[in-house]
Amino acid sequence: MNIPRPSLAVYLMANEDAPALAEAAVRGGATVIELGIPYSDPLADGTTIQRAAQAALDAGITPERALELLAEINDRVDVPLVPMTYGAIVESYGLEDFCRDAAKAGAEALIVADIPPEESGPLRDAAAAEGVDLIHLVAPTSRPERIESAAAASTGFVYLVAAVGVTGARENLDPRVAELLELTRGAAGDTPILGGFGVSTRAHVEGLIAAGTDGAIVGSAAIDAIERGGAEALEELVRDLAAGLPS
Amino acid sequence: MSSTDTAQHGTPADAYPPDDMGRWGEFGGRFVPETVMAALDELEAGMNEAFADPAFHAELALLARDFVGRPTPLYLAERLTEDVGGARIWLKREDLAHTGAHKINNALGQAVIAKRLGKQRIVAETGAGQHGVATATACARFGLKAVVYMGEEDMRRQRPNVVRMKMLGAEVIPVTNGAGTLKDALNDAIRDWIANVEDTHYLIGTAAGPHPYPYLVRRLQAVIGEESRGQMLDRAGRLPDAVVACVGGGSNAIGIFHSFRDDPVRLIGVEAGGTGGALHARSLSGGKVSILHGSRSYVLCDDDGQVVETHSISAGLDYPGVGPEHAYLHATGRAEFIGATDDESLVAFDRLCHLEGIIPALETSHALVIAERIARDLGPSGDVLVGLSGRGDKDVDQIAARRGIE
Ligand SMILES: Cc1ncc(COP(=O)(O)O)c(C=O)c1O
């Protein structure tokens, strides 16, 4: 996967509105779309994404349907697509089957929030067989050895967790981002690094860029915007955040 | 009676450790967000240091004796035995431990480790409230801040324990997600831990979760089996034919099973059979291999991996997962797992009240259902050891309402 530098990745929950929302996000300036495949017990997620996942499950969104929606998004926008989900979902689907179907639907990379590098061997093989990148996370609490292995094992981009905690819009990002980034950069080589968790304002995006990342990921704030004002509010938010990227 | 040294001591608490990946066979591991991986490494190192430190064992032994009241008695339930008309039924009285259940063994051990790691804040989940009370107690004893997540439904059905936790100074946070039961409380406790991992220890209440928790909890609960194995040899002059314990996440069961791993003794775990139909919490006898709360084990989930709704009259067994070491014992056939329904458990509850003058917890009543059945099958020459994991004080409101007791 090749993402532009700088990049703004927008996370959407898989639901029937997702294709139209993805179009709105890309109009606003999104350069990557992450699509959440809902899971009943999303440990890494705060209340916003939990609620969105539960609503999607209540509306009958299965992993199969989520991948169909991904394919629809792929028909409608021309940016890299990255499904994001949990281990129970990909393992129940079958790792090989999941990676094959995701690749067919247009996925270029994959994020599984609760499969850390040491547990990811079989998934990495299944993804590599389909030419799908596997993205790992590095966090402010990660020790240097872990940062190195996670960054080195990531292809596509490295997901830099910019706040200690679960997902959710926040006032302030973690002050250790710059330090974390330096260690990550050393191990990531040419692989881009995007910062996420808590990103909700243009100042956050500017802060992440100033720290030296290749861009930002916005999730909960995007879902909050959609709940507030649908595609229009999403496009507006993304345009505002994208203005924080250097041109 | 053959009382060689090995027969006296049974399987050592540190035998059968998980492998380097924290797994027994394919079960266990660490399936958690990156943010807490470092805390698990730190906990694993702290656990290994503590278990290698005689001062840690001495501290726990003193607490066990003077604070918890260990060893807990082994009691021959004579009238129950006579009424069933089969094997002798022996009760390992964890209900007599301080705070009323086995949960205190784990809570104190982890609190001491948390202190050694310099953590000042403890977060825990609770279902029946027994682990919440044990955690609140351990935190009061060590001057730590306790935050306990509890499902709203469980707060309603186990109200006495909510009051106890608050009296002990814990903050109790109601969980409204999902069905408002134990699984949802674990989710929110883990999310709190992720957000506060740098100063907070997650004190899980059962032998589940990411490595090293299942091993840590088993080692802290193995005292139940160590004591009861010696007590059986002393009192019955032989090992039991079967050991029976209820299984929620599996901490009291793994604790009483462990010392008997290498003996010719049947190990029988009893899961919540719920209504006897589709609504139950039989993760091992009715689930499939998946990932839940940080480890690979048997989970009650649908074909997509979504966790399904469970039901049990007993809040402590109403959980769709189970600890990974039990998954391994199940997959290898070393232990058997059987369901007992709500109704059967209520009958066993009454029988222990009326025949022995002991009010058991509803969780524990599930074990009694199967213990009676096994005792009957074994006949008079046999011995059955039951983990009497807790007392039923917490259940009196629920039972009174069902029975119309005023
Ligand atoms: C008395 C009692 N027994 C058993 C359990 C089930 O837990 P575990 O399977 O970890 O022993 C509980 C949990 O709340 C309990 O309170």
Taking only the tens place, the pLDDT of each residue in B342-357 is 999 999 999 999 999 9
CB within 8 Å: B34 and A57: no
Q: What is the DSSP letter of B95?
A: G
pLDDT of residue B3: 38
CB B210 within 8 A of CB B22: yes
- Please compute the mean of the pLDDT values over residues B181-203 and round it to a whole number: 96
Of A92, A113, A136, the CB nearest to B303: A92
Which of B154, B220, B363, B388 gets mutated to test ligand 1 (max ligand atoms within 8 A of its CB)? B363
- Please compute the mean of the pLDDT values over residues A42-63 and round it to a whole number: 97
- Please compute the mean of the pLDDT values over residues B168-172 and round it to a whole number: 98
CB within 8 Å: A119 and B306: no
Looking at ligand 1, which residue's alpha carbon is closest to its atom 15? B316
Rounded to the nearest whole angstrom, what is the distance from the C-alpha of residue B31 to the centroid of ligand 1?
24
Tokens of B271: 């899961």
B126 CA: nearest ligand 1 atom: 14
B183 inside 8 A of chain A by CB? yes
pLDDT single digits (tens) B212-258: 999 999 999 999 999 999 999 999 999 999 999 999 999 999 999 99
* Mean pLDDT, rounded, of chain B: 96
Looking at ligand 1, which residue's alpha carbon is closest to its atom 16? B130
Domains defined along chain A, listed by start: 7-242 (3.20.20.70)
Tell me, yes or no, if B312 is annotated catalytic.
no
Distance separating alpha carbons of residues A242 and B17, to the nearest angstrom: 51
pLDDT single digits (tens) B259-286: 999 999 999 999 999 999 999 999 999 9
pLDDT over 70, % of chain B: 98
Contacts of B38 in chain A (CB under 8 A): 139, 141-143, 146
pLDDT band at B8 (very low <50, low <70, confident <90, very high): low
Distance separating alpha carbons of residues B122 and B106, to the nearest angstrom: 13
Distance separating alpha carbons of residues B132 and B138, to the nearest angstrom: 10
CB within 8 Å: A164 and B198: yes
Tell me, yes or no, if B394 is annotated catalytic.
no
- Please compute the mean of the pLDDT values over residues A56-60 and round it to a whole number: 98
Q: Is the pLDDT of residue A142 over 50?
A: yes
Contacts of A170 in chain B (CB under 8 A): none
B127 CA: nearest ligand 1 atom: 14
CB within 8 Å: A119 and B21: yes
Of B41, B177, B291, the CB nearest to A114: B291
Which of B386, B389, B391, B395 gets mutated to test ligand 1 (max ligand atoms within 8 A of its CB)? B389
pLDDT band at A247 (very low <50, low <70, confident <90, very high): confident
Alpha carbon dihedral B110, B114, B115, B119, in 10-degree steps, equals: -150
Q: Which of B94, B125, B336, B372 is catalytic?
A: B125
pLDDT of residue B230: 98
pLDDT single digits (tens) B28-85: 999 999 999 999 999 999 999 999 999 999 999 999 999 999 999 999 999 999 999 9
- Please compute the mean of the pLDDT values over residues A139-143 and round it to a whole number: 95
B253 CA: nearest ligand 1 atom: 11
Pocket of ligand 1 (CB under 6 A): B 101, 127-128, 130-131, 206, 246-253, 316-317, 361, 363-364, 389-390
Which of B246, B258, B362 gets mutated to test ligand 1 (max ligand atoms within 8 A of its CB)? B246
pLDDT of residue B1: 37
Please count the residues of chain A: 247
Tokens of B5: 């040294």
Q: What is the 3-state secondary structure (H, E, C) of B332-346?
A: CCCEEEEEEEHHHHH
Distance separating alpha carbons of residues A181 and A212, to the nearest angstrom: 7
Looking at ligand 1, which residue's alpha carbon is closest to its atom 13? B316
Q: What's at A86, amino acid-wise? A: Y
Please tell me the pTM assigned to this model.
Answer: 0.97
CB A9 within 8 A of CB A218: yes
- Please compute the mean of the pLDDT values over residues B321-346 and round it to a whole number: 98
B40 inside 8 A of chain A by CB? no
More confident residue, A135 or B5: A135
Residue A100: name the closest of A76, A78, A83, A120 by CA: A83
| Chain A residue with minimum CA distance to B294 | A114
Please count the residues of chain B: 406
Residue with tokens 């924080």: A244
Q: Is the pLDDT of residue B2 over 70?
A: no
- Name which of B30, B191, B196, B199 to mutate to probe chain A: the one with the most chain A Cβ atoms within 10 A of its Cβ: B191
Q: Name the pairing type of β-strands B88-93 and B74-76.
A: antiparallel
Distance separating alpha carbons of residues A98 and A155, to the nearest angstrom: 18
CB within 8 Å: A142 and B38: yes
Contact pairs from chain A to chain B, CB under 8 Å: 113
CB within 8 Å: A57 and B197: no
pLDDT single digits (tens) A159-207: 999 999 999 988 888 989 999 999 999 999 999 999 999 999 999 999 9
Q: Is the pLDDT of residue B365 over 80?
A: yes
Residue A130: name the closest of A151, A155, A158, A108 by CA: A108
Q: Is the pLDDT of residue A224 over 90?
A: yes
Contacts of B202 in chain A (CB under 8 A): none
Alpha carbon dihedral A184, A186, A188, A194, in 10-degree steps, equals: 40
Q: What is the spatial order of strands in the sheet that A32-36 belongs to?
A: A133-135, A109-112, A81-85, A32-36, A7-13, A215-218, A193-196, A158-161, A137-138
CA atoms within 13 A on the CB side of B139: 28
Contacts of A164 in chain B (CB under 8 A): 35, 194-195, 197-198
Q: Is the pLDDT of residue B4 over 50?
A: no
Q: Is the ipTM of this complex over 0.90?
A: yes
CB within 8 Å: A92 and B290: yes
pLDDT single digits (tens) B95-130: 999 999 999 999 999 999 999 999 999 999 999 999
Distance separating alpha carbons of residues B297 and B345, to the nearest angstrom: 26
B252 CA: nearest ligand 1 atom: 11
Distance separating alpha carbons of residues B41 and B27, to the nearest angstrom: 19
Which of B251, B329, B370, B395 gets mutated to test ligand 1 (max ligand atoms within 8 A of its CB)? B251
- Please compute the mean of the pLDDT values over residues B334-340 and round it to a whole number: 98
| Chain B residue with minimum CA distance to A137 | B34
B176 inside 8 A of chain A by CB? no
Distance from CA of A27 to the nearest CA of B (A): 32
Q: Is the pLDDT of residue B5 over 80?
A: no
